[in-house]
Amino acid sequence: MTTGIILLNFGEPAAPERDRVVSYLERIFQTTAAIEDHNGAEARERARTLAERRAQSLIEEYDAIEGSPLNHQSVEQATALKAVLKDRGFDDVETYVGMQYTEPFIEDAVAQARADEVDTVVGLPVYPLCGPSTTIAALQELTQTIDKRDWDVDIVNLTGWHRHPTYLRLRTDAIRTFLKEHELDLTENMTEFVYSAHGIPQHYLDERSRYVEYVDEWCELSSSLLGIDAYTVGYQNHENRGVAWTKPSIEEIVETVDAERIVVEPISFMHEQSETLWELDNEVCDIATDAGLDFYRVPIPHDDERFPSVLADLVEPTLAGFDPGLYHLRPCTCTDRLDARCLNCPQRP
């Protein structure tokens, strides 16, 4: 019996080529059209127009960061996960990478898994915080893709895992290492520590998404391990289409902070990508500099040797065939359209 584990993520163009960037943007705008009450041919036409309009500035951003490393880092994580599982005695495992908006697409991963004749597909989003347009949307696309291919294969979906204790430790260790390297002290009065979370449209919160709850919980857990009481949360929003997003924005936080320096920890990513390398390291950094602040950004520990073990823990009950509840994986309540399990749902009395 062979299990195929598909690591799911957003995806980004690996090179600043216009065709790739326009295709990437068009897929995003097409997916989000329903939030803006656009459907059918109108939505497709509008998505293309918006993509063409936005493409040049995004090309310049990707050019500045020499292309997104997200896909490359994702492949490295998939390879490392397979190696860890092999060390644990699970030899009949294949790992794949499937992206929502760039190659290799989720449908590409499904096609390869089917060609490899796997018996079980595990959908594992590499999104630290479970969100509707990321974790849930990626798993829904995976399930729909398998259904459309009329492939009779067992599917196991995993959603939220930010509570995994090893993951929490490796992220806080990365913060401590960074602080030590730069001789920073978060308890100093003139040092502001900011958690930067990727924003989501208010539409999802109105539909009772718990994403902001997960953000707040994560920040509280991380701060407890760091031994600090004072911190701020800001959201990286994409407010270019007249849709309300989460508040406050990271820009608002930086513009109003009363400090000499600011330390930013991006909590929504497990890869370096444009949101970290461009939005934070360039755009937000410039705002901080204009405000007279020294700006520091904690790197993403995407290659921490403990992270593949976190992912391995999540899939191990499926591979070994025991109750996932023994690893505190319980039925996910973030969606009623997936038979999924997560670490976020509290145990029922």
Q: Where are the domains of the chain?
A: 18-64, 165-297
Confidence (pTM): 0.94
> pLDDT averaged over the chain?
94
Judge whether 218 and 181 are in contact, CB under 8 Å: no
- Which two tokens mark 179? 């602080």
pLDDT tens sequence for the chain (349 residues): 899 999 999 999 989 999 999 999 999 888 776 666 556 677 788 888 888 998 999 999 999 999 999 999 999 999 999 999 999 999 999 999 999 999 999 999 999 999 999 999 999 999 999 999 999 999 999 999 999 999 999 999 999 999 999 999 999 999 999 999 999 999 999 999 999 999 999 989 999 999 999 999 999 999 999 999 999 999 999 876 668 899 999 999 999 999 999 999 999 999 999 999 999 999 999 999 999 999 999 999 999 999 999 999 999 999 999 999 999 999 999 987 788 999 998 655 4
Task: Using alpha carbons only, give the angle 20, 22, 23 rounded to the nearest 5 degrees.
Answer: 65
- Which two tokens mark 184? 């920073």
Instruction: Give the DSSP per-residue string, 108-169.
Output: HHHHHHHHTT-SEEEEEE--SS--IIIIIHHHHHHHHHHHHTT---EEEEE---TT-HHHHH
Q: How far apart are CA 276 and CA 44, in angstroms?
A: 29
pLDDT digits (tens, 9 = 90+) for 275-332: 999 999 999 999 999 999 999 999 999 999 999 999 999 999 999 999 999 999 999 9
Q: How far apart are CA 266 and CA 171, in angstroms?
A: 10
Please give the pLDDT value at position 338: 87
Q: CATH number of the domain at 165-297, out of 1.10.357.10, 3.40.50.1400, 3.10.300.10, 3.90.800.10?
A: 3.40.50.1400
| Residue owning tokens 């949360």 | 233
Instruction: Give the DSSP per-residue string, 18-59.
Output: HHHHHHHHHHHHHHTGGGGT--HHHHHHHHHHHHHHHHHHHH
User: How do beta strands 154-158 and 191-198 pair?
Assistant: unpaired
Query: How many C-beta atoms surround the C-beta of residue 78 within 10 A?
Result: 23
Judge whether 241 and 201 are in contact, CB under 8 Å: no
219's enclosing H/E stretch is helix 211-226
